[in-house]
Amino acid sequence: MALVGLIVLSPVWVVIWIAIMIEDGLPVFFKQCRIGRRGKVFNAYKFRSMCIAALYAPVNHQARENDPRVTRVGRILRGTAIDESPQLINILLDEMSFVGPRPLLAAEVEIHNQADFDIRAVPGYAERVSVVPGLTGIAQFHASRDVPREEKFTYDLKYIRNRSITGDIKLILLSLAVTFLGRWEKRGTKLPNGQRSAGR
């Protein structure tokens, strides 16, 4: 599935490459250290959606609503989650799955907690990294990007404890719908018409 996705999206990637380069130059792609299954660190690949200065910032700051660091092209990419599509490569490398909790940054300054904290200290961390991280999960449907990690963890742990093949298929189909509607940057639930995602 990941290989098919890469083939299908390759023409779109060319357009994205050109758009990012025209607006803000190179690099177009970037890699970021993330925490995978059993705490193993790997490089997650993304299209750059923020300005170059943010890419080389010494500390990761959580994105907020109308974040000035996000470029015009980046807003489109983030709204459709196409900026995450290079992580199909991570799926091919067996570092990620299509569905699961999003791979974590080891340290990040949150909007609601201005101290730089270690994600491993958040309650529920051990259970959360017991599964392969994914491109999409229930936290992405119901929680804004800038909510505290503890809140996102509650959704992720519900998914882990109730996951199933049918639930994963439903989450993939819902993800495609949200991508088509460009609602990934919407605060609160991204689901159209108040639908409920699998695992909740």
61-109 confidence digits (pLDDT tens): 888 878 899 999 999 999 999 999 999 999 999 999 999 999 998 777 7
For 76, the 3-state DSSP assignment is: helix
For 45, the 3-state DSSP assignment is: strand
Does residue 113 have a pLDDT over 70? Answer: no
Q: How far apart are CA 13 and CA 5, in angstroms?
A: 11
Neighbour tally for 91: CB within 10 Å: 19
Q: How far apart are CA 89 and CA 87, in angstroms?
A: 5
Task: Tell me, rounded to whole angstroms, the distance of Cα 151 from its chain centroid.
Answer: 16
Domain definitions of the chain by residue range? 2-194
**pLDDT confidence tier of residue 198, bands split at 50, 70 and 90:** low
* Helices H / strands E in the chain, number of each: 8, 6
pLDDT for 111: 64
Q: How far apart are CA 42 and CA 186, in angstroms?
A: 28
Q: Dihedral (C-alpha) 33, 34, 35, 37: value to the nearest 10 degrees?
A: -110
Q: What integer best gives the mean pLDDT of the chain?
A: 89
Mean pLDDT for 1-15 is 96
